[in-house]
Structures are given as C-alpha cells and as structure tokens.
C-alpha cells in the first residue's frame, strides 16, 4: 500500500492532480477561517461555548457546523459551506422522477444533464440568499431563531447594511466553494464536493485526539470508573471494528446475474454473462442527514410552546425515545430514497431492449417485480445496519460518558462520509496506477468506489 502512494507521485498526471487537490483544500480551509466583516470574534467564541452537544441548540449548530467545516463558529466567509449546493442537488434529484420535463431532460444525455446542473446552480443561489439572510439576522439577534441572546453583542454595527453585506459575502463564498469542488472533480482526484465536506470533518480530528489525550492524562471518569490505558486500547479496537463495519456497509452489494444476448459489433463478440450490483446501502448517508434534521425540530418546538414543554424530554438527544424515533426515521428515509432513485420498471425495460434477462426470470413485469422485491430486502438489512451505526455514538456518549467530540468519529454522518470519500479517492488513484502498470493499493482485487 505504501509503495502505491510513492508510485502515485511518479506519474506526472496523477501527481499534478494530487497537488492541485491539496492546493484547493488549503484555499477552502482559509475560507473557513476568515471571519465576515462586522463580527466580534471574541464575543462569538464565548457565545458558542455555552451550547452543549446534548441540547437541541447544540445539535442544530453541530449539524450545520459539520458541513461548514467549523466556519459557523467564526461566522467565516464560508459559513454556509457547500450545504446549499447539496440541498439543491437533493431537491433536484427528488424532483426528476416527479416533474416530467426534468425526467425528459435527464434522458437527453449530456446536454440534459448540463441543463439540470445549471438549474441546480440557480437553486443553490436562491438557497444561499435565504440562508445568508437568516444567518445574518441570527448574528444580530439569535433569539429570532429560538437561541438565547448573548451577553455581549456579536455584531459591531448591526443593521440593514450588515445583513446585505453578509448575504453577498456568504453567497459568494458558497458559490466559490461549489466552483472549487467542480474543479477538483475535473482536474483533481475524487468528487470535489465530497472532499471539501470530508476535509471539514477531518479538521475536527486533531481536537478529538487532544481531548482523548487530556482524558488519559487527567484520568477522567468513564462509565463510572477512572479512565485508564486499557480503556484507550479498547476504544482503538472499537474504532477499528466500527470502521471495518462501515466499509462493509459502504461496499456491500448483491450481485444479480444477467445474461446478455451475444451479438457481433465490428470484429468483436459482445454479450454473455455479467451481473447487476445492487448496493446494500443504496441511499448512503442521506437518511441520517434527513433524520437528524427532522429530530431537531420537535425538541425546539416543544421548548417554544409552553404546554408542550413536558414532551420535550422524549426528543432530547441520547434518550431512549430519541434513539427509537431516530432509528425509525432512518428506516423510513432509506426506503424513501430508494423509491425515488431506484426504478425497477425502467431497468427492466432497458434490459429487455438490450436483449438481457435474469436467468429464471421472465423479461418485463416479472423482472421488475423481482428487482423490486430484492431491493426491498436488501434495503431493510442496510437500513437496520445504518440505524445502528448512527445510534452507536449516542450510546458511547450517554452510557459510557465518552465526550461527544470523540464519540462522533465512532459512527454516524462523520464516519460514513469519511469512509465513502476515502474509498472513492483511492479507487480513482488506483485506476491511474493500474492503467500505467503499477500495483494498486491491494495485492488482490481492487478498491471499489461507491459508484461502482
């Protein structure tokens, strides 16, 4: 594996792609650490320290800050991060099966996809304008979004001028990040947008390691006992097992055998036996993101409405009721995503047109029903596994008193994104190595990206 990394820099094209990606990452991290004009950074830092990770406010800030790479805590020019673009992409993907004109565009090939990408950019700008205005007004008066007001004003000169200036800066920051992500995809290594998100998550890892070191040095309490070296070794072992399980979940697939009709194209014979891979975790990290965003709302609403305050306990982070509801939402959104993105009828029609069939299954409607039933069973297994993976950091935090900054890397959104992006990046690097007769990262087999 180490020789593969060394060989990566021996290939001129691959070396230039790696260095280009590294340069763009540096620019993105600079954008996440340059505060917007008019903000008092000292007062803002003191204000964020009062939110605990187990509160509704802390969960809201933590999820938003996850995709901004820590820029929210400084109200940097990249505070909105790449999340508006991701939201716009998700909305467009959900609209394509519903809106006939968009579905027609996607069938037109590259031209149609370019039009949809353009619509996605326009929608990104609209989302940025709305979120930028909300963020600017929240800095002036956090009470507008249900947060406690700070003791010291966060904005030096509040007013309409600050709001307009912040909207422009934050919107431009997101659009620049989106453009840089596209440049990474085109001239760098891997999916640019995913890499930008991953770097923001990995940026938290040094502080998590420092917190773990302080826990060892101070001998803090964990599960009612003093934290010792043996507990540290157990944590490393658990982290390795959870990471391995995440890789299995990301890479797991059911291979459906396909028999294609043999035909001569030019001087070559095409057709024969192949397979159709059905991903166990077809929806990726999206169900966790959707479920987490929805679980923030009930707790905050119960806190705002006086006669509902007694019900807020059931939606508080880490409670048994929260975990059950959270897991059920992940199951629901897993099936919702598959229902919108996986079309067994269209796949069956495409197979029939190309002269392919599943052995033992008649073409047409029986093939579509077989694919639908198979995907339903696979999704159930993947969704249950995904729910357990998402709940595991909460168990560490609540049951064993592992600090949330450390427990977050033992599952959930952070680990899934990191594992998926690393596999994609290694897959692209390996394709360059194998194409030039170098050994890949594995002696047997190949690293598969999420799109394979």
Sorted by sequence, the CB contacts under 8 Å of residue 147 that are 6+ apart come out as: 57, 138
Q: Give me the residue spans of the domains in the chain.
A: 18-190, 204-452
According to the model, what pLDDT value does residue 295 have?
80
CA distance 48 to 52: 9
Strand runs labelled E in 315-430: 356-357
Angle between helices 12-31 and 160-187 in degrees, nearest 10 = 170
According to the model, what pLDDT value does residue 237 have?
92
**What is the edge-to-edge ordering of all strands in the sheet holding 356-357?**
268-279, 253-265, 356-357
According to the model, what pLDDT value does residue 452 have?
44
Element (H, E) at 27: helix 12-31
DSSP string, 209-223: HHHHHHHHHHT-EET
Q: What are the pLDDT tens digits along the chain (452 aa)?
A: 667 777 778 888 888 999 999 999 999 999 988 999 999 888 888 887 776 555 555 656 666 666 677 788 888 999 888 888 888 887 887 788 788 888 888 888 788 888 999 999 999 999 999 989 988 988 898 876 667 778 888 898 888 999 999 999 999 999 999 999 989 988 988 788 888 888 888 888 887 888 788 877 776 666 567 777 788 888 889 999 999 988 888 888 899 999 887 766 666 666 678 888 999 988 888 788 778 777 877 877 776 777 777 787 788 777 889 889 999 999 998 998 888 788 899 899 988 888 888 988 888 899 999 999 999 999 999 999 999 988 998 888 877 778 777 888 887 778 888 888 888 888 888 887 877 766 666 555 566 655 54
Q: Same CATH topology for 18-190 and 204-452?
A: yes
According to the model, what pLDDT value does residue 223 have?
58
Look-up of token digits 């001028």: 161
**Which CATH number is associated with domain 18-190?**
1.10.3370.10
Q: Where are the alpha helices (DSSP H) in 69-190?
A: 83-95, 100-106, 110-140, 160-187
Q: What pTM value is reported for the model?
A: 0.79
Q: Which fold has domain 204-452?
A: Preprotein translocase SecY subunit (1.10.3370)
- Note whether 78 and 30 are within 8 A (CB): no
Among 287, 283, 201, which Cα is nearest to 250's? Answer: 283
């Amino acid at each position: 594996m180490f020789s593969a990394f060394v060989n990566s820099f021996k290939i001129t094209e691959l070396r230039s792609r790696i260095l280009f990606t590294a340069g763009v990452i540096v620019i993105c991290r600079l954008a996440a650490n340059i505060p917007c004009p008019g903000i008092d950074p000292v007062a803002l830092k003191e204000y964020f320290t009062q939110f605990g990770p187990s509160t509704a406010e802390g969960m809201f800030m933590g999820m938003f800050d996850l995709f901004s790479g820590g820029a929210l805590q400084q109200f940097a020019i990249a505070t909105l991060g790449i999340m508006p673009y991701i939201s716009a992409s998700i909305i467009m993907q959900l609209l394509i099966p519903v809106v006939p004109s968009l579905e027609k565009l996607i069938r037109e090939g590259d031209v149609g996809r370019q039009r949809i990408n353009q619509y996605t950019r326009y929608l990104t700008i609209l989302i940025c304008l709305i979120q930028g205005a909300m963020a600017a007004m929240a800095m002036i008066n956090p009470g507008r979004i249900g947060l406690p007001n700070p003791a010291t004003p966060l904005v030096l000169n509040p007013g309409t001028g600050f709001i307009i200036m912040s909207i422009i800066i934050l919107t431009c920051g997101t659009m620049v990040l989106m453009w840089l992500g596209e440049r990474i995809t085109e001239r760098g290594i891997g999916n640019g947008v995913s890499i930008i998100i991953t770097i923001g998550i990995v940026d938290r890892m040094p502080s998590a390691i420092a917190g773990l070191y302080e826990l060892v040095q101070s001998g803090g309490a964990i599960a009612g006992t003093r934290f010792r070296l043996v507990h540290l070794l157990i944590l490393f072992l658990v982290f390795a097992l959870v990471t391995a399980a995440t890789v299995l979940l990301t890479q797991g697939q059911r291979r459906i055998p396909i028999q294609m009709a043999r035909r001569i194209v030019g001087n070559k014979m095409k057709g024969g036996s192949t397979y159709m891979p059905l991903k166990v975790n077809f929806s990726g990290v999206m169900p966790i993101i959707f479920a987490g965003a929805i679980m923030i709302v009930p707790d905050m609403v119960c806190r705002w409405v006086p006669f509902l305050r007694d019900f807020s306990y059931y939606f508080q982070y880490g409670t048994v009721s929260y975990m059950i509801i959270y897991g059920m939402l992940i199951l629901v959104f897993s099936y919702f995503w598959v229902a919108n993105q996986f079309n067994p009828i269209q796949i069956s029609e495409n197979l029939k047109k190309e002269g392919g069939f599943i052995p033992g299954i008649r073409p047409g409607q029986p093939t579509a029903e077989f694919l639908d039933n198979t995907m339903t069973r696979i999704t159930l297994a993947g969704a249950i596994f995904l729910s357990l993976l998402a709940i595991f950091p909460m168990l560490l935090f609540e049951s064993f008193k592992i600090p949330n900054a450390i427990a977050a890397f033992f599952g959930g959104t952070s680990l899934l994104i990191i594992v998926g992006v690393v596999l994609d990046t290694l897959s692209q690097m390996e394709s360059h190595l194998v194409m030039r007769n170098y050994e890949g990262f594995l002696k047997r087999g190949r690293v598969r990206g999420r799109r394979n």
